[in-house]
Amino acid sequence: MSRPQRAEVTSSAIRLLHFACSVLLALLAGATAASAQTAAAPAESERYPSRTIRYIVPYPPGGFNDTLARIVSQKLQEAWGVPVVVENRPGGGTLIGTDAVAKAPADGYTLLGVAFPFGANPSIYKNLPYDTAKDFTPLILAGQTQNLLVVRPSMPIHSVKELIDYAKTNPGKVSYGSTGTGSSNHLSMELFKSMAGIDIVHVPYKGSAPMVNDLLGEHIDAAFDNTPNVLPQINAGKLRALGVSSKTRTTLAENVPTVSEAGAPGYEVSVWFGVVGPAGMPTEITRKLNAEMNAILNMDDVKRRFAEQGVEPIGGTPSEFLDHIRSEIQKWAAVVKDANIPPQ
């Protein structure tokens, strides 16, 4: 072999060796990075929380959604020693605040207070900016209450059965108020109408206070509303309670029968409250939040504050809350369809 040929072979061998070394170094670097990333994940979970947690409430201040957020945030802050900040982000029928959390990092530092509309909105809104079933990590079902069916006292109605008979005799002449399409008081009445086979006219309001004021002023005839919102007027004789929406009677109004036992067998609506995070949260962080929130719900001072609002603490596992959300989505989809409620 000539000298030029030997030189060319040597040069090719050197280039091949350099290429092989480069490939090996790249593989080693990739393996090291992957190993470091794998090790960092549990370390991050173990350090959680190490900075401020945001708790977004898609409702204005006031009401139990806001109360729950402030109870939980205070207790988490006391237990973990990091700031937990409540942000009220109302608007769009809860969609604005809810969508913000759906798109937040799934690191446990953004939480969302959810309630009854969370399960009803998939059937109420044509184009939700998020997927209720897929874009969130359920953390805990915190509590539930019930709605009371009330009428203005000047109506010749003293029972659920009398209201049904009156509405059948006067189709389209009885009016009822709600706090908006998809709210618990709206769908509570739509379910009642469907089960009783009656025609009652819907009058939506921007909140419970103006709705109750119009009931007291006799501008509307009836409504379902959260027990704490109407109990003072019932006790003062300014409104007449016909039934409670839950499966069993409430200790807050022990003499008021359930709607089911009073004229609409099988009727049941629970107004619930819970906490979720963005989809894909690490399992350890989810477990830690769930365990701490369950402990909070078992505190005596928290139970007392819930009772003052007429709310029963629930608790449980994330998987149980997921089952509840799925059940609510299915239930209200059927009600919205049967009631021919047009999508928003």
Per-residue pLDDT of 69-124, as tens digits, reads 999 999 999 999 999 999 999 988 899 999 999 999 999 999 999 999 999 999 99
Would you call 183 exposed, middle or buried from its count of C-beta atoms within 10 A (0-12, 13-18, 19+)? buried
C-alpha–C-alpha distance, residues 174 and 260, integer Å: 21
Q: Tell me: do 186 and 91 sit in the same domain.
A: no
Q: What is the mean pLDDT of residues 38-44?
A: 45
- Structural domain includes residue 14: no
Q: What is the pLDDT of residues 248-304, one digit of tens each?
A: 999 888 899 999 999 999 999 999 999 999 999 999 999 999 999 999 999 999 999
Please say which residue of 240, 262, 284 terminates a domain.
262
- The token pair at 123 is 């059937």
Q: What percent of the chain has pLDDT over 90?
A: 73
Q: What is the average pLDDT score of the chain? A: 88
Residue 128 lies in a domain: yes
- Whether 130 and 104 map to the same domain: the answer is yes
Q: Is residue 11 part of a domain?
A: no
Task: Answer yes or no: is 295 within a domain.
Answer: yes
- Judged by DSSP in three states, 162 sits in helix
141 and 151 part of one domain:
no
Q: Are residues 69 and 135 in the same domain?
A: yes
* 222 & 151 share domain: yes
CATH code: domain of residue 210: 3.40.190.10
User: How many domains is the chain partitioned into structurally?
Assistant: 2
Domain-ending residue, one of 245, 262, 279: 262
pTM: 0.79
Domain that residue 239 falls in: 147-262
CA dihedral 109→91→127→145, nearest 10 degrees, is: 80
Same domain, 154 and 257: yes
In terms of domains, do 220 and 279 share one? no
- Residue 193 DSSP one-character state: H
Percent of the chain at pLDDT > 70 equals 87
Q: How far is CA 106 from CA 42, 51, 136, 216, 293, in A?
A: 14, 14, 9, 46, 18
Residue 313 lies in a domain: yes
pLDDT at 34 over 90: no
**85: CATH:** 3.40.190.150
Q: Does 18 reside within a domain?
A: no
Residue at token pair 């022990």? 254
Asked if 97 and 61 touch (Cβ cutoff 8 Å), the reply is no
My answer on whether 77 and 92 are in the same domain is yes
* Residue at 20 is within a domain: no
For residues 180 and 93, the answer to whether their CB atoms sit within 8 Å is yes
Instruction: State whether 151 and 136 are in the same domain.
Output: no
